[in-house]
Structure 1
Amino acid sequence: MTEFSRVMRDFTSVLPALTFRPPKDAEKKSLGRLFQETAQRYGDKSAILFEGRELNWGEFNALVNRFAHALKGQGVKRGDCVGLLMENRIEMLACFFALAKLGAATGLINTSLKGRSLVHCINITNSTKCIVGEELIESIAEVKEELPLADNDFIWVRDQALNKPTGEQSAAPAWAVDVVASLASMLTENLPETLEITAGEKACYILTSGTTGLPKAALILHRRYLSAAEPYSRIAFRAKQTDRIYICLPLYHFTGLGPGVGTSLYSGASIFLRRRFSASNFWPEVKEHQTTLFVYVGELCRYLAMQKESPDEVNNPIKTMVGNGLRPDVWDVFRKRFKIPRISEMYGSSEGNAIFINLLNKDKTIGTTSAKILLVKYDFDADEMIRDKKGRLVEVKKGEPGVLLMKIDDRFKFDGYNDKKASSSKVMTGVRKKNDRWFNTGDVIKQIDVGFSLGLAHYEFVDRLGDTFRWRSENVSTNEVGEILNGNAQVEIANVYGVQIPEVEGRAGMAAITLKSGLEFDPVEFSTYVMNEMPAYARPVFVRIQPAAETTVTFKLFKANLRKQSYNLSEIDDVVYVLKPKSTCYEVLDNDFYQSIISGQHGY
């Protein structure tokens, strides 16, 4: 088949989805309704497989309805928000769909969060109750008294993996309600209120990676979720009911919940669900369970590329993979070594108003979008967008990297965060016309030449702006990390930025800190503070001790030179500390370990 023929075939197959318009806010369409319609259509077909347990769509819908009736009995109602803290498992999705059927939003909480991070996530969504899995009950127990919830507002869900082989069942703590115990007596019929829920109502909150315990709650309306399900399913995956999707990404992130679960709902494809990613088990499971579709993030793919060759990877059944962050060198491995026919890299964000999809299966591109966009010039040293003499933003030339702005209109709406101030900070007005509105992604992309593409412009992701970088598949806010570090007894001021580590996706955190007058750096005290106050992905890998902070004339912390110098011992005279892999204490970065880092033998 010629390139022209292939592109025409691909374009023709996805044309209906390209013109798809999301439902209007008043339409009676919702996530819960889509779930039960799919369950009715494919009732006796496989829906989900998890740790040896398999449910067909009819059985899955019955379980969801039991949970919905149980939660309704606990007082959950339409318009509420309920926090959900549970690892990937069937019950996690059952609770998510049950809340959707009731018209209650789900606050999807990062399972690695503890302490004030966890408290913040429950509070920021105004959760009236919190569903917690047995496997994470200790996280809630530690902060229970800090939450504005009564004892019967905590709903405990047993984890069969933690129960003894003898059949002895674990019990909920005295301050939590065990809904699983009553499931058998609950109705399995669909709830009448599900058919009344409209597309403009709240489906869930994706709690963006706040890194320091201060995430923002990105609002996902039913309209938004439904409008993503079709393009992910038809354009990206081209999924059919006979497909099976391998999902090992955490479902509190939109990549797993949207492209993965959304595709299943739209197409009827079954899900092979894993609690967490395992590089060694990936190919054996793909082969054993004949998973044909795969949802990824770039870092996960790099781990697979680093694994020794496995007989199970040969002639594997995966025909399409969809995700984000796949770097060019790893892309080649998946094409040539793993022989994946279709790689649909995408670009989007939990709070964003539009997405890019590599619908024509071109190499090393995030693809194209039907939204109106602008790429504008950015002064990375001054940390601001460049304007002309008339104050207008300057667009980059074709092929040059620029900050991505996406037009907000009736088709590509911006729902924002639960925090109106945070939402306003992401919107720019009067960019091209008076009162026009644009979503500022904070990301840098560039247009690239991919050959024949029917005139559809294709783009490549370049990087995130300085205030945010990506590490361990999480978005890390330098401002928020800096605020926490500034709370340490030794620190006068902390300047945080991202630096590259060879052979590792994203950027590692680095902090240049100035100590309070008269103090010498105590790495043990500092390490204890960081371990207690931040999730693992937020902790700076490198700490540079500066005699004085560098600022601009407006007293804004200057990052450009720090980023360039990074942790390069030949370019800086300051002492640099490093948090080595699996270590809990910072130690001085010496030349031996520095050489292991730049040679790629570091273990990160």
Structure 2
Amino acid sequence: MGLVKRIGNEITFVRAALRSLGKLKAIREDTSHTFSDTIEKLAAEKPNNIAIYFEDRALTYREYNEEANRYARWVKDQGLGRGDVVALMMENRPEYLIAWLGIVKAGATAALINTNLTKGPLAHCLNISNANHIVLGAELAENYSTAADQLERPMTVWVTGGQVQGANDLDPVLAGQSGDALPADIRKDVTQDDDALFIYTSGTTGNPKAARIPHVRLSTMMAAFAAGTNATEKDRMYVVLPLYHSAGGVCAVGTTLTVGGSVILRRKFSATHFWDDAVKYKATLFQYIGELCRYLLNTEKHPKERKHKLRLAVGNGLRPEIWKPFQKRFRIPRVLEFYGATEGNVALMNFDGTPGAVGRIPAWAKSKFNVEIVKFDIENEQPVRGPDGFCIKAEPNEAGEALGKITNDPETPTGRFDGYAKKEETEKKILRDVFEKGDAWFRTGDLLRQDKLGYFYFVDRIGDTFRWKGENVATSEVAEAISVFPGVKEANVYGVHVPGADGRAGMASIVAENGSLDLEKFRNQMQKELPDYAVPVFLRIQPEMEVTGTFKHRKVELVKEGFDPSAIAEPIYFNCPVQKKYVPVDQHLYGKICSGEFRL
């Protein structure tokens, strides 16, 4: 990196970091201010600014605030307030943001329920919320009905957007409430330490956990993104991510709703309609996650894809191999990649847009942040401790687990860890006696590396990285190499068990154009791009990739199915060490592999 570029990056970091830290420190020092106060102030000072665009509707800040006041009065009429929880399950639309704002205006907590859940997982989320009331979008009534008989306690169901037999019709009840300013003492006992929201983890490795989002965390998350993007009231954030998750429902909406700008809501992400919406609503910002940017790159050229007013894309999971092609094709001036988790206390931002990096902390700024990377034992999935019993810091560019020191110091405002609704789940994420007796650090569960300039790079999720032939295989790095091969639309890499073999063999599930790959060229390319131990042993060609509601690849079921052709209807291939090519796996070959006939 040239000297001029490095100086420019330092200046960018200083400006953005000071802006962010200043906002976060101010929030921590004002213990009574909440997001409800922010909206009430904007409704008074900028009443005609548009807060929410949705389809053919536009809600001003005055209207947004008034509608939320109706919800708050309804909550109070149910005898609910501080310490009580109301579950919310609804697809993306303005009523979603109105509902949870109204719930927190009344001092209660909104549990944001994943709209994709049904049956046991949905019942689990409702049970651990401790909510006795649920606000349910009529479009999700069938989902709710699959879980109703598994609830640990009866719930009062309030339906909005239509009528459902056996449920209360919430809309006429709300219409009968006043939208006038709420009594000054409606939240008199609520502090920033009280819970505003419960947001659930994705549940990819088990049942979802309800992450606590106190008012202080809600405010700091929103403020960090407003500061990082340098948002103003002229900005319009396009939100295609689900509002039940922190990326779309807190970070994205908070970027503009804290400064008097607008959010543009869409029910669900559509690559086909993305650029039409961006141009129609004059979006200046949009938030991505996971594979969303790859989906856009895989679409046919759109006549409006370079006629938008987007100045910045913010999110996490933009893979290095598509970073520059994405920016170039769609004329995106700036990308702000970040790293963080809903409940975590490790927060990083790549302010200067260095491709592939998820954030940066220069050595001279280290004291202001709480992040360390420690050496990690892949096989035992635990940080490595030295002879003195303490963890060992990773070397520059060495992959290790990212940890965040748990503090409650306004000088390091990202240090809080508020945990989950269930205390036993909270303790599992805390690592103690890390560098000294009595200290406590949050375990991110992610492998990162940091270079000598302070840039952080995501390596893999712990549990995804596996050992094969005595080496650690990072699934993200293999997926990156596969994804640039011609004809590959998506790649999901994981390790599978092979009887009699040490470690796990690499397997890649691939979505290919026209459903097929040139396997000879693919194998040759992988041998050039990857070390021998990282070249996938098995391939699985799928018509489409199964993802979570936030566009993260699902792996649990793929790992369970392995490479057994009797369990998988799709084509499976084996990198045969004898024929030196990928060959189809049938039941006969499967038996030979499992019997150890091939020395893998």
Category of TM-score, reference length = shorter chain? 0.7 to 0.9
- Which one of the candidate residues 274, 287, 307 is aligned to 1:282? 274
Instruction: Quote the RMSD (CA, aligned, Å).
Output: 3.4
- Name the amino acid aligned to 1:458: Y
**Structure 1 198/575 Cα, relative in aligned 2: closer, same or farther at 3 Å?**
closer
1:267 to 259, 264, 273: 259
- Structure 1 equivalent of residue 66 of structure 2: 62
Contact 1:294 1:322 in 2 (8 A): yes
Q: Name the amino acid aligned to 2:34.
A: S
Is 1:240 the counterpart of 2:232 in the alignment? yes
Q: Alignment partner for residue 180 of structure 2, among 189, 193, 198?
A: 189
Separation of aligned partners in 1, 2:281 and 2:139: 26
Kept in 1, the 8 Å contact 2:91–2:137? The answer is yes
Note the 1:161-560 alignment, pairs <5 A. Answer: 170-174=162-166, 176-192=167-183, 193-194=186-187, 196-211=189-204, 214-235=207-228, 237-368=229-360, 370-411=368-409, 412-448=415-451, 457-466=454-463, 502-503=482-483, 507=492, 512=497
Note the C-alpha offset of 1:467.
Answer: 6.2
The runs of 5 or more residues in structure 1 that have no matched partner are 159-169, 451-456, 470-496, 513-545, 551-559, 600-604
Change in CA separation of 1:34 and 1:286 when aligned onto 2, cut-off 3 Å: same
Native 8 Å contact 2:134 2:158 kept in 1: yes
Shift of 1:507: 3.9
CA distance in 1 between partners of 2:126 and 2:28 (Å): 29
- Contact 2:360–2:455 (CA under 8 A) maintained in structure 1: yes
Amino acid at match of 1:317: K
| Corresponding residue of 2:135 | 131
Identify the residue that residue 550 of structure 2 maps to in structure 1: none
The correspondence for 2:19, drawn from 10, 16, 19, is 16
Aligned-residue identity in percent = 33
Read off the aligned partner of 2:387 and give its amino acid letter.
Answer: K
Equivalent-residue separation in structure 2 for 1:429 and 1:132 (angstroms): 41
Q: Is the 8 A contact 2:52 2:60 kept in 1?
A: yes
Counterpart in the other structure of 1:530: none
**Rounded Cα–Cα distance in structure 1 between residues aligned with 2:324 and 2:380:** 36
Partner of 1:43: 47
Does the residue aligned with 2:44 lie in a helix, a strand or coil? helix
Deviation at 1:351, TM superposition (A): 1.2
- Give the equivalent residue in structure 2 for 1:53: 57
> Which amino acid in the other structure matches residue 408 of structure 2?
D
Q: Structure 1 residue 145: deviation in Å?
A: 2.7
Cα 1:381/1:589, change in 2 over 3 Å: farther
**Count of paired positions:** 507
Q: 2:94 aligns with which of 90, 100, 113?
A: 90
Displacement after TM superposition at 1:144 (Å): 1.8
2:117 alignment counterpart: 113
**AA aligned opposite 1:134:** A
Aligned counterpart, 1:587: 568
Q: Under a length normalisation based on structure 2, what TM-score does the superposition of the two structures give?
A: 0.77
Partners of 1:323 and 1:86 in 2: CA distance: 23
1:14 and 1:374, CA in 2 relative to 1: closer, same or farther beyond 3 A? closer
In the alignment, is residue 99 of structure 1 matched against residue 103 of structure 2?
yes
User: In structure 2, what residue type is equivalent to 1:54?
Assistant: A
1:402: Cα distance to partner?
1.2
User: Counterparts of 2:574 and 2:261 in 1: how far apart (Å)?
Assistant: 47
Question: Deviation of residue 14 (structure 1)?
Answer: 4.8
SS in structure 2 at match of 1:564: strand
The answer on whether the counterparts of 2:495 and 2:506 sit within 8 Å (CA) in structure 1 is no
Shift in CA distance, 62/272, structure 1 to aligned 2, threshold 3 Å: same
Determine helix, strand or coil for the equivalent of 1:283: helix
Q: Which runs of 5+ in 2 are unaligned?
A: 362-367, 410-414, 467-473, 484-488, 511-518, 524-532, 547-556, 558-565, 577-581, 584-600
Distance 1:86 1:594 in 2: 46
Distance of 1:468 and 1:65 partners within structure 2: 48
**Which residue matches 1:562?**
504
Equivalent residues of 2:493, 2:507 under 8 A apart: no
Q: Secondary structure at the match of 1:396?
A: coil
Q: Which residue, out of 119, 123, 126, partners 1:122?
A: 126
Query: Aligned AA for 2:203?
Result: G
**Separation (CA, whole Å) in 2 of partners of 1:51 and 1:593:** 49
Find the aligned partners of 2:247 and 2:321 in 1 and give their Cα distance. 22
Alignment partners' CA distance in 1, 2:268 and 2:440: 39
By how many angstroms is 1:328 displaced? 0.8
CA distance in 2, matches of 1:155, 1:117: 21
Q: Tell me which amino acid in the other structure corresponds to 2:346.
A: A
Contact 1:466 1:498 in 2 (8 A): no
Q: Taking structure 1 as the reference length, what is the TM-score of the superposition?
A: 0.77
Q: Deviations over 1:162-216 (max 9, x none)?
A: xxxxxxxx42322x11111122221112323146521110011111011376111
The residue aligned with 1:535 is none
Offset from partner CA, 1:119-143 (integer Å, 9 cap, x none)? 0000111112111100100111222
Q: CA shift at 1:468, angstroms?
A: 8.9
The 8 Å contact of residues 507 and 538 in structure 2, kept in 1 or not, is answered as no
1:565 deviation in Å?
A: 5.9
Give the drift of 1:425.
1.1
